[in-house]
Amino acid sequence: MPHGPLTLLLEFDDQVRRDQTQTALFLHRRDRRYALDCLANQQRPGIAGWLDHVQTRVPATSRPDHDSRLKPWRRLTLLLTPVGALLGMLTMLGLLFYDGNQQINVTVIIGFVALQLLLAVLTTGQALVGWRPWGKLLSSIPRGDDSKRSQIHPMLAQLQPQLAACTAHQMALAFAVAGWLTLIAMVVVQDLAFGWSTTLRTSADAYTGIVQGLAAPWANWLPSAVPSLTLVELTQFFRLSDAVGDNPARYGDWWPFVAMLWLTYAIVPRLLLLVFARLHLRFQARRLLRSHPGRQSLLHRFATPTLDTGSDLTDSGSAPAAPQQQELHALPAGDALVCWAGAGSEVTDIRTRLQQNAKVLVLQAGGTASLNEDQQTITQLAEHDRPAIILCRAWEPPTGELADFIRDTRQQGPANRVIALLPVGGETPLSPASDIQSAQWLRFVERQQDANLWVCALPAAPSAEARHG
């Protein structure tokens, strides 16, 4: 099936997360088989074809609806486009308001068009640099609503500047087009009188140079839309003057210039920048896919032959063997306990349950915590030398965010300190992870290549005598 860059990125990231529950041997055999099939068919193995190959084993009803993750942006665009058109119509009606006593000031229209052009450039600029001044508006989901927060795909979060630029340009384009159509309609149904005025001491010659410079793009093929010096001299007005020129009919001769000015500097740039924003979104999606941590591993499995170890595991999609409990470490006594992504929030006395000293510092990180809050936790961990315990929910696959947190903790704290990962299968009451759940955490630790990063088993619950004695 066809894959767009954004959909391909979402599907690939999801498949990589699902593959974390499988063994390395199973993944290697499955992906190597796909690469050999491509070679036999004289095709080049690729991510899109690999996804089609893998997803044929997954029932259609159980596949994630990737389009649903883009629906909020599509709904936002569909909502803002008619809003932009309505605002454009009202704005043009305001700019062309004429009560018969004084001309419509062309200088105001020029200034407003310049403002539109500036906003268009700023919108594109913030997408190019990844700046999100509106980030809080798009992340206003309640902190405690895990079901809604889980719908925010991490890859989409990185593409928010580009998605927002596409939406903003489309709304602004609807604004500009509706304004231009309103201008044409007003020219037809009303006798508009244009003129120019400014507080600055500007002569008619200087103003003529300005407007003719703005009209340069269409001067050769539409000379009627280029104001002449005579028109500029005739239509200058002053606020406190009631004098009317000798030829009031000429006041309407400004409208071709105003129409072309709006078309050239408000509509055309927005249209071009909208096309650029969509191309930039596709480029960023491809860049994220190329730099995805799972891509290099996949390409390695494509190119590397598998070794027969005598295992009876086939490519049928069956789950690999679960790890043995003896592969898990005993939970060490630590100085600090980090509750990752809200894990352990429902446990009243988590220190006692984990058989830790009452002086153990309990910290929060990951999940809804901000980067600054994570950094504060890392700074506090750096002040301790004894093992640090990270409590995680076993059913939530380890993410790159957790890997970055562990790496930063290692860099800013004691290099040889033990960091103990404690995945739990339940919190009410606190229960150990299943063998299959522990498997993905053991593989996660193996990928980190850190001898002092352990996956630990949950200690047995203390007896009643130990709790009260």
Instruction: Give the mean model confidence (pLDDT) for residues 200-226.
Output: 87
pLDDT > 70 fraction of the chain, expressed in percent and rounded: 81
Confidence of residue 110 (pLDDT cuts 50, 70, 90): very high
Contacts of 33 (CB under 8 A, 6+ apart): 315
* pLDDT, tens digit (0-9, with 9 covering 90-100), for 441-454: 888 888 887 778 88
Structure tokens given for 258? 């105003």
CATH code for the domain defined by 325-468: 3.40.50
pLDDT of residue 264: 94
Please state the pTM of the whole predicted model: 0.60
* pLDDT, tens digit (0-9, with 9 covering 90-100), for 125-173: 988 888 766 555 555 444 444 444 444 567 777 888 888 899 999 999 9
Confidence of residue 310 (pLDDT cuts 50, 70, 90): very low
Structure tokens given for 281? 């979104």
Instruction: Give the mean model confidence (pLDDT) for residues 251-274.
Output: 92
> CATH 3.40.50 region(s) of the chain?
325-468
Contacts of 399 (CB under 8 A, 6+ apart): 154
Instruction: Give the mean model confidence (pLDDT) for residues 245-260.
Output: 78
120 φ/ψ sector (left φ>0, alpha ψ -120 to 50, else beta): alpha
**213 vs 240, more confident:** 213
Instruction: Give the mean model confidence (pLDDT) for residues 218-225.
Output: 89
Instruction: Give the mean model confidence (pLDDT) for residues 4-12.
Output: 85
pLDDT at 123 over 80: yes
Confidence of residue 242 (pLDDT cuts 50, 70, 90): low
pLDDT of residue 58: 52
Mean pLDDT of the chain: 79
Q: Which residues of 159-177 are buried (b: 16+ CB within 10 A; e: fewer)?
A: bbbbbbbbbbbbbbbbbbb
pLDDT of residue 148: 43
